[in-house]
Amino acid sequence: MKVAIQCESPLLQRSLELFLEGHLGSLRHCDIVIRDHIVPSDERLSLLIGTSENVDLIKPFSRGELFHKLQQKIDTAQRENPIDEESFLPLATEDKINFDILERHIEKLTQEYQSNILKAVKAFYEK
């Protein structure tokens, strides 16, 4: 199971990344997307997390509850839309991941995130 996370809350985003370490994938190559907001134009299978009653998983939740809801959602979707396994193309195993590029990209994103936090803190205290 590959999961993509798309949350407006940075705290929820990071918590989910920690909970789902090893199961994360890109939006393009995921089985399900976890969100804390509704995206009406997206037709992907998604799990909605929030505090209202019309969400799939109510906050707060445990790691076990998260995995249980994810599995339930995927199982339900597969029962509603049976998938022809022959139509699936397996992921290319010959493609090697270049971890140097990934590491540089993560470092760049981390620096940008740190810069944005510092700007926000400075702006707050300069008022």
* Residues of the chain above pLDDT 90, percent: 25
Same domain, 53 and 19: yes
Q: How far apart are CA 41 and CA 27, in angstroms?
A: 15
Same domain, 80 and 58: yes
Same domain, 72 and 119: no
Tally Cβ neighbours within 10 Å of residue 19. Answer: 17
Number of domains the chain contains: 2
Residue 114: its pLDDT value, please? 92
Q: Residue 31 maps to which CATH number?
A: 3.40.50.2300
Model confidence pLDDT, tens digit, residues 7-49 = 999 999 999 999 998 889 888 888 889 999 988 877 888 899 9
pTM summary value: 0.59
Residue 98: its pLDDT value, please? 61
Same domain, 9 and 70: yes
For residue 107, pLDDT over 50 is answered with yes
Domain residues for 68? Answer: 3-92
- Higher per-residue confidence, 84 vs 77: 77
Helix-, strand-, coil-residue percentages of the chain, each rounded to 5 = 45, 15, 40
